[in-house]
Amino acid sequence: MRIADYPFTQQAADHVRAAGYSLEDLLEKPSFRIFRTRAADRVRGAIDGDISDVRAQSESELLSELLSYPLARIMVSCLDDSHLLRRYALAEAKLAHRRMEREKADLILLAEDLNLHPQPAGDLFRLHFSEYIVAGHRMKSPKWKLVNRDLDRGFLTVTRDELVRLMEELVRDRVLSGLPLEVDSETCSRLDEILTPLRRDLEAMRSWHQTDLGRVEEGAFPPCIRSMLADVAAGKNLAHSARFALTSFLLRIGMSSQDVVALFSSSPDFDPERTGYQVEHIAGSSGTRYKPPSCSTMKTYGNCPGEDQLCARINHPLNYYQRRVRSISRKES
Ligand code: SF4
């Protein structure tokens, strides 16, 4: 396990402390600019909903993953927005989840750092129910309910995927604990150059959530969605995965179910009743509101037509859309 992938751990904090970098170094040293940039990247990821997953290889990249974390904590504290703090904790936890999913090393040490003590049992892990409750208290679907788990002398079993999911929840709590830090205004003002654009993005996110959710900005659609819309307009049938991606995307950005159904009316196999049912289902009629697939899933299904410059910097079509909407509204104001 590389601690740089898990900078919220006690081990990582000890490592940073032992390295003896001063706050002065982190804030001002020209050669530390890459760490400040990555820290800003983490905060921007929290605003957009997704921190990019840097697969650090070189010494400086590994150090950057480690040092950018405490710096990002300082930055989100300076930005002083409780909603952002929660988004930040969630985005760090999601990043950790992706890394844990592909982790080749044993997860036990990491779990223990998070105060979870799983015991390997073949392909499964035994967990004490009290730790399970602490980690899983936010999980509401029936499969996580304690009554749906077999208890054996205070222990229950979870799969590796479930363990990773529980650990993600604990990472979220770990990241959020202690935030906001008590950062003096002088420290914040020394980060002004980095914080100013982040403040703008944060403001844009707030106004987007408050007022623009129902407004669809076609000019901000990512290439994948534009290509699917062009196919629909040309009367081509979309593959199931593309139809799902397009529908879930349009619903998420605020288009009504009726408008989405009407959009498919030029498809050769259009059946208003069936399409209506499918769209309502994706919109959440059965209790689950489906999220559009990520860029990597879009690529897997052949639904990504190729990347433009912005595509190279995001990993979800919704992030693409949010960023474009923000830059359009900046130009308009
Ligand atoms: S990279 Fe993502 S947003 Fe861009 S076209 Fe591909 S799937 Fe769409």
Q: What is the pLDDT of residues 234-244, one digit of tens each?
A: 777 788 999 99
**Cα–Cα dist 261/267, whole Å:** 11
The residue contributing the CA closest to ligand 1 atom 6 is 304
Q: Give residue 225 CA to ligand 1 midpoint distance, Å.
A: 8
Nearest to 198 by CA among 36, 33, 40: 40
Predicted local distance difference test score (pLDDT) of residue 145: 86
The residue contributing the CA closest to ligand 1 atom 1 is 311
Nearest to 6 by CA among 135, 112, 77, 162: 112
Q: What is the pLDDT of residues 109-147, one digit of tens each?
A: 999 999 999 999 999 999 999 999 999 987 766 788 888
Tokens of 105: 């090393």
* CA distance to 128, 166, 304, per residue, from 182 (Å): 36, 29, 44
pLDDT at 211 over 60: no
State if residue 307 touches ligand 1 by the CB under 6 angstroms criterion: yes
Report the residue among 295, 309, 318 best suited for mutation to probe ligand 1: largest number of ligand atoms under 8 A from its CB: 295
Predicted local distance difference test score (pLDDT) of residue 321: 92
State if residue 324 touches ligand 1 by the CB under 6 angstroms criterion: no
Predicted local distance difference test score (pLDDT) of residue 249: 95
Predicted local distance difference test score (pLDDT) of residue 10: 95
Q: What is the pLDDT of residues 252-266, one digit of tens each?
A: 998 888 888 888 876
Percent of the chain with pLDDT over 70: 94
pLDDT at 57 over 60: yes
Q: Give residue 285 CA to ligand 1 midpoint distance, Å.
A: 27
CB 132 within 8 A of CB 162: no
pLDDT at 82 over 90: no
Beta carbons within 8 Å of 126's beta carbon, 6+ residues apart:
118, 119, 120, 155, 156, 157
Percent of the chain with pLDDT over 90: 58
Q: What is the mean pLDDT of residues 82-103?
A: 91
pLDDT at 28 over 80: yes
CB 52 within 8 A of CB 315: yes
Crossing angle of helices 82-101 and 59-79, in 10° steps, is 160
Q: What is the mean pLDDT of residues 175-189?
A: 95
State if residue 223 touches ligand 1 by the CB under 6 angstroms criterion: yes
